[in-house]
Amino acid sequence: MNMMFEPLRKYAQFTGRARRSEFWMFYLLLVIIEVVFMVLMNLTGMTPGQPPAGPAVAFAGLFGLVMLGLLIPSLAVTFRRLHDTNRSAWWILVGVVPILGALALLVFYLLPGTPGPNKYGPDPKGAGEEVSTVFA
């Protein structure tokens, strides 16, 4: 549960590395938020194919603001996840290639991070530390 909110603590930190659990738990949080808002909008009268009316307008607007506020941390955790696999954040642009780009990014997000430090920072799992520094 703590990993779910870690990207919010590192709101605009685009440097460093993010573990798979941090990345996927944050995106689970985004899905939960979306489901809650969709249920609220449907309960307040929003129908598919029709513009929102009544209280659904307020929920739709609030949902838009929440997602806009979560845009920066979602980009930051995505950049850090790519850094953990020893890839530049520029790899996110491969997502503009239809189907194959999204599939390639999904594979990158699922791959384990490089063990030990890489050019983007120390291992977030703490693996690869020198024995002398652990037992010093």
Q: Which domain holds residue 47?
A: 2-134
One-letter amino acid at 109 equals Y
* Number of separate domains in the chain: 1
Quickly state the pLDDT bin for 130 (edges 50, 70, 90).
Answer: low
Quickly state the pLDDT bin for 136 (edges 50, 70, 90).
Answer: low
The greatest distance separating any two alpha carbons of the chain, rounded to the nearest whole angstrom, comes to 65
Q: Average pLDDT for residues 65-80, to the nearest whole number?
A: 96
- Residue 122, CA distances (Å) to 6, 84, 85, 105, 127 in order: 17, 9, 12, 22, 9
Amino acid 42: pLDDT: 86
CA–CA gap between residue 23 and residue 25 (Å, rounded): 6
Amino acid 132: pLDDT: 46
Amino acid 112: pLDDT: 94
Amino acid 52: pLDDT: 73
Mean confidence (pLDDT) of the chain: 89
What percentage of the chain reaches a pLDDT higher than 90? Answer: 70
pLDDT tens for each residue of 34-69: 999 999 888 887 777 777 778 888 888 999 999 999
Quickly state the pLDDT bin for 33 (edges 50, 70, 90).
Answer: very high
CA–CA gap between residue 56 and residue 41 (Å, rounded): 5
Q: Average pLDDT for residues 100-111, to the nearest whole number?
A: 96
Residue 105: pLDDT above 90?
A: yes
